Amino acid sequence: MLRIERILCPVDFSESSARAYDSAQSLARYYHAQLFLQHVVDFDLPCYAYYADAVHIVDFLGSIHADAQSQLEDFAQMHASGDVRAECHVQEGAVTGSILSFAAEQRVHLIVMGAHGLKAADRATLGGVAEKVLRKARGPVLVSRKPARPQAGPYDAQGSIQLRRVLFCTDFSEPARQALTYALSVAEEYDAEITLLHVLEDVRSLASVQEAIARANSQINKLISPDRAKAVRIKTMVRIGRAYEQIIQYAAEVQADLVIMAVRGRNALDLAVFGSTTYRVIQLGPCSVLAVRV
C-alpha cells in the first residue's frame, strides 16, 4: 500500500503558494498525513556586515526570523480548510537547498509547490524554485496550478480540493509502472475517475496505426489487475501525435484535475533533457501535475 504520511508545502505567501497549500491540505486530509508548511528566508547580507556589530546583526536576523514566523502562521490560519493543521517552519538559507534538506530530514513522502512563471513570456522556462526542486528532489513533487477552467477542481464539504478526474500517462516503462501506484492510490482516495493514456508518436501507415493501437490497448489492459480494477473507475485512451501535445490537449478536453507522470531516474530533468515530455506538461498543461520520481 502506498504511504504518504508526511507532506511538505514550501510557500512564499503568493497566490500560487495559497493554491499549493490548498492542494497540500486536501492530500493531507485524504491520506491522514502530517503536513509541514515551510518558508525560507534567504539572507543576503551587505558587505558592511563583516565589520558591523555582531550583536546588532544577530538582533536584526532574529527580528526577520520572528516576523517571517508570524507571517507564516497568519498565512496558515488565513488559508486553513477543515481540520488539517500544518506545522509551520521558518528556515534561513538558500531556498532550494533548504527545501530539499528539510524534506530529507523529515523524510517527507511528497512535496507540493506552486507553479511560478508559467504565463506569457515566462512560458519558455518553468523558472525559479519549482524548477530547481523538480530537478533535484528524490521523491514525488506535485506542481499545483490554478485550473484553466473555473469549473475544474471543485471543493468538497470540508473545503478541500476535490479531484474528480485523474489522468495517468504511461509509456509502459518500469518508472511508469511504479508511478501507476500513485495514480491508482489518488483515484481510490478521492473516488475519482482515472484515465490511462498512452500516446503513439512514431506511426506512419494506416496498417501500422491500427496494429499499434491494438497493441497499446492490450498493454494498457494488462496494467491493472481485475481485483484492483473493481476499486476504481477506469477509462483508457490511445492518442497519436507528439506525446506532450496530446497529453495537454486531452487533459484540457476532459477537464482533468490532476495529471500524473513518471520521471525517469535522478537526472531525468537535468539540463540535457529538460525539454522532456513531463517537463513540458508541467510547463504548459492546464492543471496540476504530479511528477513521480521512483
**Residues 124 and 99 placed together within one structural domain of the fold:** yes
Residue with cell string 531525468: 268
Instruction: Give 118-157 pLDDT, tens digit per residue.
Output: 443 344 344 578 888 988 898 999 999 877 655 444 666 5
102 and 227 inside one domain: no
Domain, as residue range, for 68: 1-146
Inter-residue contact 57 to 49 (CB < 8 Å): yes
Final residue belonging to a domain, choices 114, 146, 178: 146
Task: Indicate whether 199 and 259 sit together in one domain.
Answer: yes
Task: Give the number of domains in the chain.
Answer: 2
What phi, psi does 262 have (nearest 5°)?
-90, 150
Query: Measuring CA to CA, how many Å separate 129 from each of 30, 96, 137, 178, 205?
Result: 27, 6, 11, 26, 44
**Sheet containing 288-293, strands listed edge to edge, beginning at the edge strand earlier in sequence:** 86-92, 34-41, 6-10, 110-114, 141-144, 288-293, 258-263, 165-169, 193-200, 233-240
- The burial of 44, by beta-carbon neighbours within 10 Å (0-12 exposed, 13-18 middle, 19 or more buried), is given as exposed
Which of residues 88, 115, 146 is at a domain's end? 146
Q: Does 142 share its domain with 156?
A: no
Looking up residue 24, the CATH number of its domain turns out to be 3.40.50.620
Quick one: 163 and 49 in the same domain?
no
Residues of the chain with pLDDT under 70: 43-60, 116-127, 148-160, 205-207, 264-275, 294
Of the residues 146, 172, 194, the one at which a domain ends: 146
Partner residues linked to 200 by β-bridges? 240
Q: Give pLDDT, residue 193.
A: 97
Q: Are residues 79 and 168 in the same domain?
A: no
CB contact at 8 A, 196 and 234: yes
Query: Do 142 and 174 belong together in one domain?
Result: no
The pLDDT score that the predictor gives to residue 55 is 61
Task: For residues 131 and 173, state if they share a domain.
Answer: no
34: phi then psi, degrees, rounded to nearest 5: -80, 135
Residues 61 and 181 in one domain: no
- Model-level pTM? 0.87
Question: Are residues 223 and 100 part of one domain?
Answer: no
Residues 265 and 126 in one domain: no
The whole-angstrom distance between residue 80's C-alpha and the CA centroid of its chain comes to: 20
Predicted pLDDT of residue 151: 47
- Residue 91 and residue 170 share a domain: no
